[in-house]
Structure 1
């Protein structure tokens, strides 16, 4: 699934929609961007960092919030947001390693956006073996999150 990131105005949301994006991660929480996205059934996650900002984004009618930079607030925030019923509406992004991404997923985040933490220097000719190892770590973390969610819903 592909989406658009760094979208900061309605024209950007429209361009993403026309290009076939499955979702939009917006840099701002703008009512007009939300209205356009909702009108076209395009999931829109507006930028937020704190629980108060997450609630404000949801009050605008956005699908959810893109919590950026996730490494600044840390993966512990996932548990706090889960306790107040917000984790399922938050996609963390930025600077997360495998463990942190897994914690977000375990607590209900619909996705976790990983970047250079996963890729490292591989795109610039770096060690592909290390990339393979990082991919394995992320897959294991994701599997643990899936298992934890299954246990939680069964219990």
Structure 2
């Protein structure tokens, strides 16, 4: 695979410069490489495919072979982690604390974003060596929650996921999120399944433009 696996520090630096990850949950992806290219054309360089999509490792391999920075989310087991890394994943993402996934990623030298919500879970994710901590569901707690977490955990790399859209993404970044996850606001399942890449690019542009200062 041609995907370069960044170190945790390299991933954090890259996310700080390019702070949007498109999270794709679709029943079908006709061309994963074309999907990633459409997102990149709209200004989103990071793509997270998920194990909720059938044959995700096949899609991952095609995107990785084309050289796109692509990872896999909803990783629940060590076996899934190994499958994703073997297929070319540049990073792994979990919906919650998954120690065996973290251990598998560390053995492979790959960064992992562990899901958490409470301050205790954030501490556990850091103890498990997370490159960044994914806070889910972000919208339910709002941007202010990220500022609150920076109190006991100054500088902790937090990623906002769940309900993030063009209207609130900038607020999450302004309140301490390192990066945000763009879901159906950018990659609606039906649009992805239809292979409407021009619409994906349009949505990605709208999302990234909303992050720029007025």
Shorter-chain TM-score bucket reads 0.7 to 0.9
Q: Do the aligned partners of residues 31 and 122 (structure 1) sit closer, same or farther apart at CA in structure 2, a change above 3 Å counting?
A: closer
Q: Which has the higher contact order (CA 8 A, sep 6+)?
A: 2
CA distance in 1: counterparts of 2:155 and 2:161, whole angstroms = 13
Instruction: Choose the corresponding residue for 2:87, options 11, 19, 38.
Output: 19
Residue of structure 1 equivalent to 2:101: 33
Q: Do the aligned partners of residues 55 and 141 (structure 1) sit closer, same or farther apart at CA in structure 2, a change above 3 Å counting?
A: farther
- Structure 2 unaligned spans of 5+: 1-68
1:61 Cα offset (Å): 2.1
**TM-score, structure 2 as length reference:** 0.57
> Counterpart of 2:97 in 1: which secondary structure?
coil
**TM-score, structure 1 as length reference:** 0.75
1:131 Cα offset (Å): 7.3
Contact preservation (8 Å) 1:54, 1:64: no
Does 1:140 find its partner at 2:188? no
Q: Do the aligned partners of residues 3 and 130 (structure 1) sit closer, same or farther apart at CA in structure 2, a change above 3 Å counting?
A: closer
Query: Cα deviation per residue 1:28-85 (whole Å; 9 max; x = unaligned)?
Result: 3232221221122211111111222111111222223211121111122222223333
- Structure 1 unaligned spans of 5+: 148-155
Q: Do the aligned partners of residues 87 and 143 (structure 1) sit closer, same or farther apart at CA in structure 2, a change above 3 Å counting?
A: farther
Contact preservation (8 Å) 1:87, 1:107: no
Instruction: Choose the corresponding residue for 2:184, options 116, 126, 135.
Output: 116
Contact preservation (8 Å) 1:87, 1:109: no
CA distance in 2: counterparts of 1:90 and 1:129, whole angstroms = 29
Q: Which has the higher helix share?
A: 1
Q: Do the aligned partners of residues 122 and 105 (structure 1) sit closer, same or farther apart at CA in structure 2, a change above 3 Å counting?
A: same
